[in-house]
Amino acid sequence: MTERITPDKLFQGFVADPEEEVLCVVLDGASVPNLLERLHADRSLEVECLFRGALEPDMRQVAPYLVRLEPASEFAEWVVGTGWGRHWGIFLSSRQGFRALRNHLRQLTFIYRRDGTPLYFRYYDPRVLRVFLPTCGQAQLKQMFGPVDAFMAESEAGDAAHIYRLSGETLSAAERKLL
């Protein structure tokens, strides 16, 4: 029998103080089948699209969504149990709250070429985050983390979690085996 990754196992030690920190996931609508339907089906979820303004239906389907997670919830079980290892998104924790996270993460969705042309920055894809964060200088790390206490991304094989924290001005990266 194949061992399953559960929210309990995944989030163990990730959130230092559940009373002070929020646990969230950024889900990529382009990677998660029927994400909008799932988000709309559970009215208890706190959800915000990370793209601003009114979106065309096709953009709404592929947009990234910030969702506050309760580790013991059916939704967390679905995200971890079904999505882990399929690059659905990244997890993060913060002591500054959901709105502060939303505002900060929205600022990261675009990068600009030298000529000023905006490009989507898919930092919420774990394959991007794992490669990008270790290459950042101090200013980029400060910009990426903002109110984020920790980022978590699945490993390429899905058998481990990569956890990133900012320790002063230095990136602290740890890999925690799950399987």
Residue pLDDT, tens place only, 90-126: 999 999 999 999 999 999 999 999 999 999 999 999 9
In contact, 23 and 91? CB cutoff 8 Å: yes
Domain boundaries, the chain: 7-12+22-177
The answer to whether the beta carbons of residues 16 and 39 sit under 8 Å apart is no
**Closest by alpha carbon to 105, among 148, 44, 56?**
148
Angle in degrees, CA 160, 11, 173, rounded to 5: 50
CB 18 within 8 A of CB 8: no
Confirm whether pTM is higher than 0.85.
yes
Report the SS3 class of residue 61. Answer: helix
pLDDT tens digits, one per residue of 2-33:
578 999 999 999 998 888 999 999 999 999 99
Q: Dump the DSSP string for 98-136.
A: HHHHHHHHHHTSEEE-TTS-EEE--TTSHHHHHHHGGG-
pLDDT mean across residues, the chain: 95
